[in-house]
Structure 1
Amino acid sequence: MDVTRPSAQLLLSAYAQGIFPMAHPEEEGRIYWYAPDPRAILPLNGMRISRRFRQTLRKKPFEVRFNTDFEGVIEACAEPRPGQPQTWISEGIKEVYTELHRLGFAHSVEAWEGERLVGGLYGVALGGLFAGESMFHRATDASKICLVHLVERLNARGFSLLDVQFQTSHLERLGVIEIPREDYEARLVEALKLDCTFD
């Protein structure tokens, strides 16, 4: 088995068990599998929007699109960031998620300023689960605006679980919480019973 490029089927099977991959940048992109405890989720009725950010949303500074440039989003997410010169998004990761996109399981949410991609996120939809993988921004608030639109779409389509994997101070301010892995797995079982479509 290629340790740097899991198959699409293996990836879907892993998500259904609450496991996700990350490549190790110092080991030539070798894939490791994770099921953190606690697990970070964003309750779909619990996103926090500050007064300032609400005003920004009203101005509609970007055009938000879905699935029009998946490869552009994952490439941007893989770019080095301040204090983070290496990335877990290896070539093998890009390839398999792009395949999942072609198969209808991986999706992107994109913020556009004219014809310039200025922010976005991507993840995997399976049943009533959306597993968020990564996000990026090249303009202030662009990735947060994508997250708002993602939550709106998931609610409209009947999804029940938005997994963001790990907690950060930035995500905590947006309403992300941590739950025990056992609780996450119980929610995952119920989410996978749902027949939801992202598009």
Structure 2
Amino acid sequence: MQYDIAAIIRGYAQGYFLMADECDRLGWYESKERTLIPLDQRFRYPKSLQRILNQERFTVAINRNFQGVVAGCANRETTWISPELEKIYWQLYQAGYAYSFETWQGDELAGGILGIVIGGAFIGESMFYSIPEGSKVAMVKLVERLRQRQFIMFDAQMMNPHLARFGAFSVDYQEYKILLQKSLEVSCTLI
């Protein structure tokens, strides 16, 4: 089945995001608050993670195993990534909008972050790890990459304790829309 990728991108560009409910029905959602990962000096991470980064146990890649990252993100007891949404992500990937930012330990996929790039916005959809610290290293390296590529915003959608450890903060919907609009006015590439 082919999806209307342009319509999906318009939805994200207006501040909505796709999720499946417990019955795998796909729908558009918005939130009164959005969580952002800072791309400035407010970004932080635990000192213990710095030791792991210094050990260089992981290598990073972009889109080396996109479907593996999507599968990893969906592989949970309760997931909002339905089989239909997996197909949509694949078509967004083929159209150049969806990316997987990955960590590898040798030939093993250690973790990754699934996201959508529109203009200067990286919209993080989900993350996972199969090797401890794999997703945390991916987060640090992704923020470095977004800074290098002059992205305006890293949208993590919803707050959780894991994101808070990295300095994630919430903005109200009006502020989010302003930042999103600024992000859409520039053109950035992850690769």
Q: TM-score range by the shorter chain?
A: over 0.9
- Residue 6 of structure 1 and its aligned partner are, at CA, apart by 5.4
CA distance, structure 1, for counterparts of residue 187 and residue 60 of structure 2: 25
Residues 73-124 of structure 1, C-alpha deviation per residue, up to 9 Å, x if partnerless?
00111002xxxx2211011111111111111111111111111112111100
Detail structure 1 runs of 4+ shifted over 2 Å in the superposition.
Answer: none
1:73-84 map, 5 Å: 73-80=69-76
Pair 1:145 & 2:137 matched: yes
Check the 8 A contact 1:108/1:121 in 2, yes or no: yes
RMSD: 1.4
Matching residue of 2:53:
57
Q: 1:163 aligns with which of 147, 155, 158?
A: 155
Unaligned runs of 5+ in 1: none
Q: Tell me, in whole angstroms, the C-alpha distance in 2 between the residues paired with 1:8 and 1:91.
A: 17
Which amino acid is the alignment partner of residue 55 of structure 2? Answer: K
User: In structure 1, what is the Cα distance between the partners aligned to 2:15 and 2:103?
Assistant: 29
Corresponding residue number in structure 2 for 1:98: 90
The C-alpha deviation readout for 1:148-176, integer Å capped at 9, x for no partner, is 11111111111000000000011111110
Distance across 1 between alignment mates of 2:43 and 2:130 = 22
Matched, 1:14 2:11: yes
Q: Is the 8 A contact 2:3 2:91 kept in 1?
A: no
Using the alignment, how far apart are the partners of 1:61 and 1:53 within structure 2? 11
The residue type equivalent to 2:20 in the other structure is: A
Three-state SS of the structure 2 residue aligned to 1:25 is: coil
Aligned partner letter, 2:156: V
- 1:195 lines up with 2:187 in the alignment: yes
The percent identity for this pair of structures is 36
Q: What amino acid does structure 2 have at the position aligned with 1:193?
A: E
Gaps in structure 2 of 5+ consecutive residues: none
Alpha-carbon distance between aligned partners in 2 of 1:6 and 1:104, rounded to the nearest angstrom: 14
